Amino acid sequence: MLRVAVILSILYIVFSFYGFQAYKTLFKGPIAQWVYIGLFSLVLVFLIIKLVGYKPGSAMQPSTAIAGGVFFSFMILAFILSIFMLLEDVARLSVLGYGKLNGSTELIPSRRKFMSGIALGIAALPFGALLFGMIKGKYNFKVLKYTMEYDDLPDAFDGYQITQISDVHSGSFDNHVKVAYAIDLVNEQKSDVLLFTGDMVNNKAEEMYPWKELFSKLEAKDGMYSVLGNHDYGDYTTWDSKEAKAANLEDLKNIQKEMGFDLLLNESRYLQKGNDRIALVGVENWGEGFKAVGDLKKAASDISKDDFKILMSHDPTHWEKVVIHDDYHYHLTLSGHTHGMQFGLEVPGWFKISPVQLRYKYWAGIYEELGQFINVNRGFGFIGYPGRFGIWPEITVITLKKKSLT
């Protein structure tokens, strides 16, 4: 951790100094230049202060995450400025070298305000977006509604409504009022069933203690069901013993039960309406490159191949690598995990783009493969970067409809 912090600090200083060359080309006055130097210095000092005493593997306080987010935002700003300055310096040195070869006595050309202006304008876009994401975006909850039609949906479930939330990451929350608003927003959907698809915490069950009462207000007519995500197992923090880690997981399971969730650990349940029913299947986490303890065969051992099936599986790579190729036909899978990387550009129904698609083929919204569907929820909370821009926190509402035969 210390080595990484030192390397990042050195890069930050180098980028900040080089980026300053663009800034001082545009702003000649000493006051303006000292504003730049002061801001970048304060950000670095703020981060160092917040990291003093922090033990790697322990839970990170929201204020420390914010300090890291601000640091990252300023580093991105300086990095982009540095790239432009580097390109201009290459051009300036090339002009100088060409002139020397032809006997010119001219000195190296001065920096151009035009290039520095372009650099600062372009760098300001992601810088402003990242700061906005931390101030406003992380609680900019959106309700996304889909209608899914199936020709074999049991008649009694025509119009059945599902609310899905995922990736709460309660250890990152820092605003009770905003989270309470989101809980009310979930309940306002008045869905038949509420499904939570994993990552209740960042690392430890205790992160949920301040939010337990609030999340206990969630409700749905036919109950609430949940599965575990990769963060719920406590694999990304340090423990005094294996027993302490195991006790933490049991604590989290109990918390979910006390909040009203039926936690499915490679298990299934039936949702019943009259003589009709649909199978709800929940697996433990299975992810490519992550914890893979989900057992689809075990989870579906008590249901029929002919049942209409909804699967809850935290990581969409499980759907891609296992589920769609299984002997059973899973009509709808609900996942999360990717967060849409919490940063991107999206106009729902038109286009979406995020760096996360370099890692995940299925990363946000509805997809279809082999006649089976998945919804990848963009996540309720946030982790790492303490904000969201463009890929907003999501509450999904899915209405099941019987496809007309005419």
State phi, psi for 114 to the nearest 5 degrees: -60, -50
Strand ranges (E), 74-206: 142-150, 160-165, 193-196
CB 379 within 8 A of CB 393: yes
The residue type at 279: A
DSSP 27-77: --SHHHHHHHHHHHHHHHHHHHHHHTTPPTTSPPPHHHHHHHHHHHHHHHH
Note the residue count of the chain. 406
Give the chain's end-to-end CA distance (angstroms, integer). Answer: 63
DSSP 301-321: TTS-TTS-EEEE-S-HHHHHH
Domain limit, last residue, from 106, 135, 164: 135
DSSP annotation of 154 reads -
Shared domain check, 353 and 213: yes
Shared domain check, 256 and 205: yes
CA separation for the pair 207, 201 (Å, rounded)? 6
DSSP annotation of 232 reads G
DSSP 319-370: HHHTGGGSSS--SEEEE--SGGGGB-EEETTTEEE-GGGGT-SS-SEEEEET
Shared domain check, 52 and 67: yes
Shared domain check, 199 and 76: no
CA separation for the pair 218, 187 (Å, rounded)? 6
What does the pLDDT read at residue 59?
65
CA separation for the pair 262, 228 (Å, rounded)? 11
Shared domain check, 158 and 59: no
Distance of CA 70 to the CA centre of its chain: 18
| CATH for 279 | 3.60.21.10
- Looking from the CA of 344 toward its CB, the CA atoms found within 13 Å total 22
Shared domain check, 148 and 98: no
Q: How, if at all, do strands 372-376 and 332-335 pair?
A: parallel
The residue type at 218: L
Shared domain check, 153 and 131: no
Per-residue pLDDT of the chain (406 residues; tens, 9 = 90+): 567 778 888 999 999 988 888 888 888 888 988 999 899 999 988 888 877 766 665 666 788 888 889 999 999 999 999 998 888 888 878 877 767 676 665 666 677 788 888 989 999 999 999 999 999 999 999 999 999 999 999 999 999 999 999 999 999 999 999 999 999 999 999 999 999 999 999 999 999 999 999 999 999 999 999 999 999 999 999 899 999 999 999 999 999 999 999 999 999 999 999 999 999 999 999 999 999 999 999 999 999 999 999 999 999 999 999 999 999 999 999 999 999 999 999 987 788 999 999 999 999 999 999 999 999 999 999 998 999 999 999 999 999 999 876 6
Shared domain check, 194 and 61: no
Residue with token string 């202006």: 117
Domain limit, last residue, from 135, 157, 189: 135
The residue type at 117: G
Number of domains composing the chain: 2
Shared domain check, 10 and 89: yes
Shared domain check, 92 and 176: no
CA separation for the pair 207, 172 (Å, rounded)? 8
CA separation for the pair 320, 360 (Å, rounded)? 10
**pTM for the predicted model, two decimal places:** 0.90
CA separation for the pair 171, 176 (Å, rounded)? 12
CA separation for the pair 122, 59 (Å, rounded)? 35
DSSP annotation of 382 reads -
Give the domain extent around 183. Answer: 141-402
Shared domain check, 327 and 253: yes
What does the pLDDT read at residue 54?
64
CB 195 within 8 A of CB 312: yes
Shared domain check, 226 and 125: no
DSSP SS3 for 12: helix
Tell me the helix, strand and coil percentages in the chain, rounded to 5.
45, 20, 35
DSSP SS3 for 279: strand
Kindly tell me the number of DSSP H helices and DSSP E strands found in the chain.
9, 14
CB 197 within 8 A of CB 336: yes
Domain limit, last residue, from 135, 159, 186: 135
